Each structure stands twice: as structure tokens, then as C-alpha cells.
């Protein structure tokens, strides 16, 4: 177990009979992963935990993580936490995570993705934390832990089939266009709100000899193409499938997407769902040369050097951009402008935001039990406290998932200005092959190697086949409400 210095037991906390009753304990009774190897009245045991995070891109972030760990261990003199690192490349990261979970070699606390926690809980590789969320968080004024989170974000952490939660989320994302304020001022340009205004800004920049946009499209993981397509698709077609939001959480989950595809409401050969294609192709005239070979880091560096006026990035890149020594200009941010009926007759003419979903997710492997499990859960409660949210917001530029915690001033530009996207079937965690086809075949379409009709047909073929597999694997059908009955 673990001991909190100079603290009293919160009222109403009941320790499990499987644990020692300890003086100064900060958290309540722990879950099913507790062992019954300790007896009442014994002294607090020493606990050693290994806490892994995705490898930060800068030393300062590593130092902040260590500061957070030190803040926790200063309250618990019998707990030691070693900071470890996981790969930060998507495919390598997933391989590292799966190998460690299956082989029993993973750290005691692991980074993950919220959809991966769903998959790994189904495989019995992670601890189900659902009972813990009903307990008070001593680091948040003893408020019930689940009540301290943004409800919609915590809802997405729930396994779509069981409703269980197998992790915590510390950050939510928002995507923005970063722009060079000096170049905009020099060319007398205003921040665009509509797509028509956006194209006009880029035409003027290009005419003045400035590369308007650094667009990364070398691979699916660059995400620029995915982000833009998702936002456009929702502006054009989201309302056509809103009835499939069975649980009313304002985002279609896997079973709901499978239902919409199965019943023909989503058909990627229909102009309803591919209206973005000519818009993206037209926009590409303003991207930096070689965009199909430019990765995300190269695009960001081009912007920071002042060689491109704009780039897309999330709040997770804010620290890198703000602290860059290469940047010698002021920057600002704005939401990707919305489409008007001039671009598509079905355009909603309002912003749909990509983001607002759980990120910076951590979980506990099933192998972690007893005192280690109790300490890991307590550390999770500390990580999701206002104290840590403030540190992460100010020093790591993390937009917290906690409710009623103000964002620091440096994140003001990332506040939502529109509706959250409803449909996200191009995302890798929903359909990896479709995610790859979107970009890889899209590269050929942008270059003029294949036709729009061929592009549509290939995407529909992949989506239809993959959702058929999803239905069969999960035994979802119209008869059982696609898993809702």
C-alpha cells in the first residue's frame, strides 16, 4: 500500500478487507486487482512503479513529467515511480504496447489510445477501472472521480460493447491553422472564416511570391489530409446519419458506423460523401511543392522558417511552435474555414471541429495487482487533479479533460468554435485500411493519375468489406440493433 504524508483519511472512504488499514492513506478501497496478502494494522509497504509515457520530442517535457512524479512521491514517502518511455511512432507504439501486454513485460502504467483500451480490455489485457470512477478523488476535494471529467469525453472512454472504462484521459485535442501574422499584415490579409475567403487569402499570398500552405501528405500518419477531409465530410453529410447515433453521444461509434454502412446510409460512391474530393484537389494548388513527399515535421519546419504562411497542427504541437528558436515572426491560429454552398450545395455553412476526443490516455495492465494496483490507481487520481492539469496546461500546453478547470491563456485559440464532428470512419482506429487508402489513393487522385470515380469506388469497396467483417466479428445485425439490444 502507500502512505500520504501529513494527510487524513477522507470521510466515507472504506478500505477493502483485502488491504491493510493504513494511517495516512489517500485513496479509497481498490478494485478486483487487489491481493489479500496484507493484514490490518501493518505498516505501509514500499511500492515501486514504472510509469511509461510516449517519448517526448523535447527535454523540457521529460522534465515536466518528472516534476509531476516528484509532486506525487513527495506526498507518499513509500512510493517510488520510475519514468520510462514508449515509442512515439504510431505503428511502433502499438507493437510495443501489444507485445508487452501479451508477454507480461509492460510497465505498471502504460500509455495508450482510447480505442486501444477498448480492444485490450476485450482481450482481458487491462484492468477494468470502472468501479474506481465511483470513488472520491482525494486530490480533487473528494469529489467523485467520474464527476470531475468532462462528461462527453469520459463517455468516449467507455467500451462500446460493455460500457467499462479501462484507462484515464488527460488531454483533449483541437486542430487549428497556424498562420504567420507578419506575412498576413504585409499582404493586408484578414483571418478567413469561409472557404471562399480562405482561397482568396491563399491566391493573394501566392501572387506575392509566398507559399501559402505547408501541407504534409507523405503518409496517412501525417494527418493533414485526414483532418481536412473529416471536417469537410461532416459539413456536407453528417446530418444524413445522425439517426445512427444510438447512444446520443454526438459521435458515431464503430457499431453505429457499421449500421450506417450496412443500411446504405453511407456510400462513398455517392457525392454526398465524396463532395470533398474536388475541393481538396482545388486547394492543393496552394500547397508547397512536393506535398506528397512532405511529412508533418518538414511542413512544420517550413512554416517556422517563414517559408510558408500557414500550416495545420493540433494543440499538442503548440509548445514546439511557440518555443521554436527558428521562428522570428508572430503567429496566430484560426479554425479551418467552413465550406459554403458555393463549394457544395449541401454545405452546413458552419464549423465542424475535429477533436474533443480523449487523448493522452493511460491504462494499467492486468498483471498489476495488490499494493502496486492501489498505488497506480491513486497516482491516476493525482494525474487527473486540478493541480496536475494546471502544471500540464502551463508547461506542456495540454488542454485538460477535467470539467470546470480553465484553460491557460496560451490555449485560448484552441477553444471550440463549432460543432464536434459526428462521423469519423476514416480514422485509423475505426478502419485502418480505409485510413491508408484515403491518403495513398488520394495521392494518385491529387496528382491526376486516377479519376475521381476510381477513387470513390476503391474507398467504397474497402469500407463495405471492412464493415462487413466488423459486423460478423461482433455478431452485430439489424435484428439485434447492431449490438444495442
In this predicted model, which residue has the larger pLDDT, 408 or 451? 451
pTM (predicted TM-score): 0.78
pLDDT surpasses 80 at 417: no
The CA distance from 204 to 207, in Å, is 5
What is the per-residue pLDDT for 12? 36
Q: What is the DSSP string of 351-401?
A: -EESEEEEEEEEE-BTT--HHHHHHHHHHHHHHTSHHHHHHHHHHT---B-
Note the pLDDT tens digit of each residue in 126-136.
999 999 999 99
pLDDT surpasses 70 at 146: yes
The CA distance from 251 to 263, in Å, is 18
The CA distance from 361 to 183, in Å, is 37
Confidence at 162, pLDDT banded by 50, 70, 90: confident
pLDDT surpasses 70 at 86: yes
Among 83-97, 188-202, 340-354, the minimum mean pLDDT is found in 83-97
What is the per-residue pLDDT for 241? 96
In this predicted model, which residue has the larger pLDDT, 137 or 485? 137
What is the per-residue pLDDT for 3? 43
Angle at the Cα of 106 (from 39 to 95), degrees rounded to 5?
155
Confidence at 15, pLDDT banded by 50, 70, 90: very low
Q: Tell me, yes or no, if the two domains 47-166+361-412 and 174-354+421-483 fold the same way.
A: yes
Which of the listed CATH numbers 3.20.20.70, 3.40.190.10, 3.40.50.720, 3.40.1280.10 matches domain 47-166+361-412? 3.40.190.10
Q: Could you tell me what percent of the chain has a pLDDT over 90?
A: 70
Confidence at 178, pLDDT banded by 50, 70, 90: very high
What mean pLDDT is predicted for residues 153-166? 86
Spatial contact of 357 and 114, defined as CB atoms under 8 Å apart: yes
The CA distance from 321 to 349, in Å, is 30
Spatial contact of 184 and 309, defined as CB atoms under 8 Å apart: yes
pLDDT surpasses 90 at 45: no
Among residues 27, 51, 46, 47, which one has the least CA distance to residue 139? 27
Residue 82 three-state SS: strand
Note the pLDDT tens digit of each residue in 342-394.
999 999 999 988 777 789 999 999 999 999 999 999 999 999 999 999 999 98
In this predicted model, which residue has the larger pLDDT, 77 or 22? 77
What mean pLDDT is predicted for residues 231-238? 95
What mean pLDDT is predicted for residues 318-330? 93
What is the per-residue pLDDT for 339? 97
What is the per-residue pLDDT for 14? 32
The CA distance from 35 to 430, in Å, is 36
pLDDT surpasses 90 at 78: yes
The CATH code of the domain at 174-354+421-483 is 3.40.190.10
**Residue/partner pairs of 198-205 with CB below 8 Å, 24 or more apart:** 198/336, 198/337, 199/282, 199/283, 199/286, 202/283, 202/286, 202/310, 203/286, 205/286, 205/309
Give phi and psi for 78, each to the nearest 5. Answer: -100, 5
What mean pLDDT is predicted for residues 274-293? 97
**Which residue, chain included where needed, has cell 513527495?**
74
Distances (CA, A) of 255 to 18, 172, 207, 317, 462: 38, 23, 48, 32, 17
Question: Per this entry, what is the length of the chain?
Answer: 485
Provide the residue ranges of all domains of the chain, joining segments of one domain with +: 47-166+361-412, 174-354+421-483
What is the per-residue pLDDT for 17? 30
What is the per-residue pLDDT for 13? 32
What mean pLDDT is predicted for residues 254-269? 96
In this predicted model, which residue has the larger pLDDT, 247 or 482? 482
277 secondary structure, DSSP code:
H
What is the per-residue pLDDT for 409? 82
The CA distance from 119 to 166, in Å, is 10
Cell output for 156: 468516449
In this predicted model, which residue has the larger pLDDT, 34 or 101? 101
Confidence at 1, pLDDT banded by 50, 70, 90: very low
For residue 454, give every residue at least 6 positions away whose Cβ sits within 8 Å of its Cβ, in sequence order, or none: none
Mean pLDDT, the chain, whole residue set? 89
The neighbouring-strand residues paired with 49 are: 81
Amino acid at each position: 500500500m502507500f502512505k500520504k504524508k501529513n494527510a487524513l483519511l477522507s470521510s466515507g472512504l472504506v478500505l477493502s478487507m483485502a488491504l491493510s488499514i493504513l494511517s495516512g492513506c489517500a485513496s479509497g478501497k481498490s478494485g478486483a486487482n487487489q491481493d489479500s496478502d496484507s493484514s490490518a494494522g501493518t505498516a505501509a509497504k514500499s511500492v515501486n512503479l514504472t510509469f511509461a509515457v510516449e517519448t517526448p520530442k523535447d527535454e523540457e517535457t521529460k522534465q515536466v513529467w518528472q516534476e509531476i512524479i516528484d509532486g506525487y512521491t513527495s506526498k507518499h514517502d513509500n512510493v517510488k515511480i520510475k519514468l520510462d518511455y514508449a515509442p512515439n511512432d504510431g505503428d511502433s507504439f502499438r507493437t510495443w504496447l501489444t507485445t508487452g501486454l501479451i508477454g507480461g513485460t509492460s510497465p505498471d502504467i502504460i500509455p495508450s489510445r482510447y480505442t486501444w483500451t477498448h480492444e485490450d480490455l476485450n482481450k482481458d489485457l487491462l484492468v477494468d477501472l470502472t468501479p474506481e470512477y465511483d470513488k472520491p478523488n482525494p486530490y480533487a476535494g473528494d469529489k467523485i472521480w467520474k464527476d470531475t471529467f468532462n462528461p462527453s469525453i469520459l463517455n468516449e472512454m467507455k467500451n462500446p460493447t460493455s460500457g467499462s472504462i479501462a484507462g484515464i484521459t488527460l488531454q483533449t485535442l483541437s486542430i487549428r491553422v497556424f498562420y504567420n501574422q507578419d506575412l498576413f499584415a504585409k499582404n493586408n490579409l484578414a483571418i478567413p472564416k469561409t472557404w471562399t475567403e480562405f482561397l482568396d487569402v491563399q491566391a493573394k499570398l501566392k501572387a506575392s511570391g509566398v507559399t501559402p500552405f505547408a501541407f504534409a501528405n507523405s503518409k496517412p500518419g501525417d494527418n493533414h489530409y485526414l483532418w481536412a477531409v473529416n471536417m469537410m465530410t461532416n459539413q456536407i453529410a453528417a446530418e444524413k446519419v445522425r439517426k445512427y447515433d444510438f447512444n446520443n453521444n454526438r459521435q458515431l461509434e464503430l457499431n453505429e458506423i457499421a449500421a450506417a454502412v450496412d443500411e446504405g446510409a453511407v456510400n462513398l460512391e455517392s457525392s454526398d460523401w465524396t463532395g470533398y474530393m474536388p475541393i481538396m484537389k482545388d486547394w492543393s494548388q496552394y500547397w508547397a511543392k512536393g506535398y506528397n513527399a512532405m511529412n508533418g515535421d518538414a511542413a512544420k519546419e517550413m512554416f517556422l522558417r517563414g517559408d510558408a504562411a500557414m500550416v495545420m497542427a493540433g494543440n499538442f504541437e503548440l509548445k514546439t511552435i511557440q518555443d521554436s528558436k527558428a521562428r522570428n515572426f508572430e503567429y496566430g491560429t484560426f479554425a479551418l474555414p467552413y465550406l459554403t454552398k458555393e463549394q457544395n450545395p449541401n454545405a452546413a455553412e458552419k464549423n465542424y471541429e475535429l477533436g474533443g476526443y480523449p487523448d493522452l490516455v493511460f491504462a494499467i495492465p492486468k498483471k498489476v495487482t495488490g499494493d502496486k494496483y492501489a498505488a497506480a490507481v491513486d497516482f491516476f487520481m493525482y494525474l487527473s487533479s486540478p493541480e496536475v492539469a494546471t502544471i500540464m496546461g502551463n508547461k506542456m500546453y495540454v488542454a485538460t479533460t477535467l470539467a470546470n478547470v480553465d484553460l491557460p491563456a496560451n490555449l485560448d485559440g484552441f477553444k471550440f468554435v463549432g460543432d464536434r464532428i459526428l462521423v469519423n470512419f476514416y480514422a485509423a482506429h475505426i478502419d485502418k485500411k480505409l485510413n491508408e487508402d484515403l491518403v495513398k489513393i488520394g495521392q494518385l487522385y491529387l496528382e491526376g493519375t486516377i479519376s475521381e470515380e476510381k477513387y470513390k469506388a476503391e474507398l467504397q469497396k474497402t469500407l463495405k468489406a471492412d464493415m462487413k467483417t466488423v459486423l460478423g466479428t461482433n455478431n452485430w445485425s439489424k435484428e439485434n440493433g447492431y449490438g444495442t439490444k
